[in-house]
Structure 1
Amino acid sequence: MKKHQIRIVGGHYRRTVIPVPEGDHLRPTPDRVRETLFNWLTHFWGADFQDRQVLDLFAGTGALGFEAASRGAGRVQLVERAPAALSALRALQSRLQAPAVDVHAGDALAYLQAQARATYDLILLDPPFGDPWMARLWPLLPRALQHGGLLYLEADASAAAPEGWQLLRQGRAGQVHYHLFLFAAAQENMNNGLMHNRETA
């Protein structure tokens, strides 16, 4: 494997090479962390990715979002503002002819602020380390994420969520701490297999 390449680890696009552009300080989620995340999602969703609406903010290489599309997610919205990363995302979307994937050029905060309705089942968050992004993002996430939806977060330290969020899983790989949160969790939702909540959206 070349230094500036990663691969999709599962699903329809498995083993597809994703180039990592230089110059945008990208930090792709390691293969084994992505595999762990999607094992978690498979557990909580009962292996049902069909029709799931996924938002990948700070998309970077698109590794997380394309992994979701590879597993059968119905819609994957990638949000990125760095020019080199945007170009690479669009090239990969075109190469894969991935109809579920859409690439949006813009700022993550502005994208959340523009949401008129919470439609997403999963938000993937891998913001740049060393910046207090989450203090600004937590209040905006309910504009996009459905009640009972999931949030995946990578950070440079163990993260604590505000009231209304429940930590389901967490792990660490080197300097990367990764977490899976449930939004507005109710115990009965967890006991019933969680995420079958579209009828309430």
Structure 2
Amino acid sequence: MARSSSRKQSPQPLSQLRIIGGQWRGRKLQFAQVEGLRPTGDRLRETLFNWLQFYLPGAHCLDLFAGSGALGLEALSRGAASVDFIELNPQAARTLKQQLQLLEATDGQVHNCRATDFLSDAGKPYDIVFVDPPFADDLWQESLSALAGQLSQGALIYIETPRNNLLSPPPSWSPIKEKRAGQVCMRLYSNSPTHSAEY
């Protein structure tokens, strides 16, 4: 779900990802091979969507650094009401639009812009947010701060970082889940104090 710079680049070859659950289970989709794009692997996605399974149906989701769209597409496949995909790289955004058209997924919208620009004028609250920026760009804190006014009550925020990366989420957020796998750390937070941690 990563982003590269906005400089013009020659079209790159396409790679594939597989949707692992829901109505499109097993469908193979293409994504652009652009610098910094790092789709969340099948195992990590399976863990994440096991965490989210009871919250996804009818949820309005935000895939903040969409890249391949793996997280947002998986959410739509599993019953999310809508997903906004935010992707800065033009080729990656274009390819993601094509994949949504192939799936006839009218509840997914791709926005080719910077994540912080989108958040400054999003205009609606989200129930589930995926935050998985390019690891090299160190955009976590900037993104978490910008999210504050765009969350519904009880929203869930998934954050993927390098294994030992430190985060300072807003003090009102509660940690729900955390898992380390290889060089990646997966974290799930809620902005509701009623959720309890389940490490």
TM-score by length of 1: 0.84
Moved more, 173-182 or 68-77: 173-182
Aligned to 1:132: 138
Helix, strand or coil for the counterpart of 1:139? Answer: helix
CA deviation after TM superposition for structure 1 residue 158, in Å: 4.2
For the Cα contact (< 8 Å) 1:167–1:181, is it kept in 2?
Answer: yes
CA distance in 1, matches of 2:59, 2:177: 20
Aligned to 1:120: 126
- The residue aligned with 1:198 is none
Q: Secondary structure at the match of 2:66?
A: coil
Matched, 1:64 2:81: no
Q: Distance in 1 between matches of 2:51 and 2:134?
A: 23
- Residue correspondence of structure 1 range 75-86 to structure 2 within 5 A: 75-86=82-93
CA contact (8 A) 2:34 2:92 kept: no
Q: Compare 154-163 and 75-84 and name the one that shifted more.
A: 154-163
Whichever residue aligns with residue 187 of structure 2, its letter is H
Which residue of structure 2 lines up, in the alignment, with residue 196 of structure 1? none
Residue in structure 2 matched with residue 40 of structure 1 by the alignment: 51
Q: SS of the residue aligned with 1:121? A: strand
Structure 1's consecutive aligned runs of 4 or more residues displaced over 6 angstroms after TM superposition are none
**Does the aligned pair in 2 maintain the 1:150–1:180 contact within 8 Å?**
yes
Aligned length: 181
Kindly provide the amino acid, as one letter, of the partner of residue 129 in structure 1: F
Change (3 A) 1:159 1:150: farther
Separation of aligned partners in 2, 1:24 and 1:131: 12
Q: State whether structure 2 residue 184 is matched by structure 1 residue 179.
A: no
Residue number in structure 2 paired with 1:109: 116
Structure 1: where are the runs of 5+ without partners? 192-201
Say what the alpha-carbon RMSD is for the aligned residues: 1.7
Q: Among 169, 174, 179, which residue is 1:166 paired with?
A: 174
Structure 1 residue 152 and structure 2 residue 163: aligned?
no
Matches of 2:15 and 2:96, distance apart in 1: 15
Correspondence 1:10 to 2:16: no
1:20 Cα deviation from its structure 2 partner: 3.1
* Secondary structure of the structure 2 residue equivalent to 1:190: coil
Q: Is the 8 A contact 1:113 1:143 kept in 2?
A: no
CA distance in 2, matches of 1:159, 1:144: 23
